[in-house]
Amino acid sequence: MKKFLSVVTTAAMLATSAHAISEGAIADVSLGLSTPIMVPSMKVGTSSTSYVDIATDLGLGASIQFDMWGEFTHLIPIIPNVRIEMATLSYTTTQTITVLGQALSGTSTFSMDNKDAILFWGVPFVTLIPFVDKVDFGLGLKMIDGRVGAQAYTESTSTAITAPIPYAWLRGAVSIPVVGVGLAIDSKFIGTDAVFGTDGFMGNKINFSEMVYKATWGIALPIPVLTLEAGAEIGYKQTTLDVTIPNSLYLNGSFSGVIFGVYGVFGI
């Protein structure tokens, strides 16, 4: 029995790190760039009674944004794979109103940088299932750093946006061999309401989810030493935030839109 358990445990440990990588490689380095067209629907402020709606109050609408990511996957047992993401949300608009026959202009701005670090593992043996490329799970941390503000004539006001958000991460990918297209779902989520109630933990409430749905198409390129795949992707991304840090930060709403991107995978 002990020998049997030892064999099972060892197999599970080895399989846990057996992330799908390029054929003949011992590790993959993946890089990607994308340009989401994100539509904002977000309330930002210091509390649920003191906020600005960046869409209706500031007149901010759909805008092309910029995302980039890097990923390192390997075959070493137990040691996690690593994924780094950087996403920029930046909106600016100028509105003009007429007062006593005189046109006055005001500028509204919103920016929010997102930096993510994710440690993850592959689910054992899923590649034995037809058309399944991978199923991954892990833990991540998102750092939000931004600002919302408005300026009209000589007057201006602004509010800083800063918050760390831990979350669970899941990803699955399948391939359609006949057409050479891959489909993937990437999910990030945390909900303190379920654990601590609507007041959160010590008054801090963090409910966060991010869903990314993508279709990818790639082609292998014959490069000496390295195994290289390059491709394009199109999809949809939605980020939903409900964050309350008493007397400090209030975020409630979402950003959503289509994604266009390119990527490369280097097998070592």
pTM of this prediction?
0.85
Give the model confidence (pLDDT) of 30-60 as tens digits: 999 999 999 999 999 888 888 889 898 888 8
Locate 81 and state its tokens. 């794979």
* pLDDT given at position 69: 98
Rounded Cα–Cα distance for residues 76 and 18 (Å)? 8
| C-beta of residue 262 within 8 angstroms of C-beta of residue 252 | no
| C-beta of residue 262 within 8 angstroms of C-beta of residue 230 | yes
- Is pLDDT larger for residue 76 or for residue 203? 76
Give the model confidence (pLDDT) of 173-213 as tens digits: 999 988 889 999 999 999 877 555 556 566 688 999 999 99
* pLDDT given at position 5: 39
* pLDDT given at position 15: 46
Rounded Cα–Cα distance for residues 237 and 235 (Å)? 7
CB burial readout 178-214, b (16+ within 10 A) else e:
eeeebbbebbbebbbeeeeeeebeeebbbbbbbbbeb
Task: Indicate the SS3 state at residue 72.
Answer: strand
| C-beta of residue 75 within 8 angstroms of C-beta of residue 17 | yes
- Is pLDDT larger for residue 100 or for residue 200? 200
Q: Mean per-residue pLDDT for 213-237? A: 88
> 């709403």: which residue's tokens?
253
| C-beta of residue 229 within 8 angstroms of C-beta of residue 23 | no
| C-beta of residue 15 within 8 angstroms of C-beta of residue 124 | yes
**Residue 127 scores a pLDDT above 70:** yes
| C-beta of residue 166 within 8 angstroms of C-beta of residue 120 | no
| C-beta of residue 50 within 8 angstroms of C-beta of residue 16 | no
What's the N-to-C CA distance of the chain in angstroms?
39
Give the model confidence (pLDDT) of 129-184 as tens digits: 999 999 999 999 999 999 888 776 666 677 788 889 999 999 999 999 888 899 99
Q: Which CATH number fits domain 2-267: 2.70.98, 1.10.1760, 2.40.128, 2.30.30?
A: 2.40.128
Rounded Cα–Cα distance for residues 238 and 115 (Å)? 16
Rounded Cα–Cα distance for residues 219 and 231 (Å)? 6
Query: Would you kindly state where each structural domain of the chain is located, as residue ranges?
Result: 2-267
Reading phi first (left if > 0) and then psi (alpha if -120 to 50, else beta), residue 9 is in alpha
